[in-house]
Structure 1
């Protein structure tokens, strides 16, 4: 009986998520850039995000808020780029390699950084709201900040376990 491997399915799903996040990051960057030269476009940014009131009140705050959105969207895309890279380099005969370890480590560091920047963005947005400025659905860009911090910690532990697997694999190769 032939077993069905889930790895090709996850590989395809990773590509789909990666491309979707790239499109999101590019769309946010594009609409932001257009809005800097045409202020009325600040009323209809990515997926109906309306920051025209913030743009009118403080262009600098608008730039900072959108910079957070662009950075966070881009970092999420980079995380999935590393996931896709793992599936491209994965060798199930010798799964423990330095290359895979480095990719897993990068995923953990980018996840921790995404969570940290998400916390900063949330604090910045809270301050804007306390000052009476309307930020609309911009809060959606850093909603998963806690999950990214947790994920980064878990993946960091997995990277350390993977490091130990590399050591054991090398030791096994030397004894054989």
Structure 2
């Protein structure tokens, strides 16, 4: 299959993933706000099978801290997908090495690094809280992927550096022609 046909299909999939992540993030945010301001029992069902009622009963500050971490992690995941969409909008197969594409890939590497580090921090914090007998078993789905995001950050950083060098070579070739 040619790239001209594959890229629009991948762009559609990227939009679908972005919308799904955004909905999941919005669900967590709204459920969190409801549990804090309207009904504390809502912490038992924060949407998407996330139950942090035991954490809320154990320590309200830890509850706010953990959910803030989860929300930021999911916002970063949505931001990564938005950068992917932006790359599809800016990518031209005739001249693929542009500053705009490089900038989006570099931003993605930074976002992936942040996501991995925050996920690792949230995982470590949840393990520490679990030592006090607080059940956080269903939280792992929402803070997982720490190693994968760190690995993705490294790969994206290398790709961004290749794009940066490609831009340099492309501009040198334009000057010599």
Query: Are positions 1:24 and 2:24 aligned together?
Result: yes
Give the TM-score normalised by the residue count of structure 1. Answer: 0.96
Supply the distance in 2 between the matched residues of 1:49 and 1:90 (Cα, whole angstroms): 38
Distance 2:49 2:90 in 1: 39
How far apart, CA to CA, are the structure 1 residues paired with 2:159 and 2:126?
33
Q: How does 1:92-103 map to 2 (within 5 A)?
A: 92-103=93-104
RMSD: 1.2
What's 1:118 paired with? 119
Does the aligned pair in 2 maintain the 1:51–1:136 contact within 8 Å?
no
DSSP-derived class of the 1:47 partner: coil
Counterpart position of 2:67: 66
Specify every segment of 5 or more residues in structure 2 that has no aligned partner in the other structure, as ranges. Answer: none
- 8 Å CA contact 1:96–1:169 kept in 2: the answer is yes
Equivalent residue, structure 2, for 1:135: 136
Where does 1:138-153 land on structure 2 (aligned, <5 Å)? 138-153=139-154
Task: Report the TM-score when normalising by structure 2.
Answer: 0.96
User: 1:49: how far off?
Assistant: 1.5
Runs of 4+ that moved beyond 3 A: none
Residues 123-172 of structure 1 deviation map (CA, whole Å, 9 limit, x = unaligned)? 10000001111123111112111000000000100000000000000000
Residue correspondence of structure 1 range 49-88 to structure 2 within 5 A: 49-88=50-89
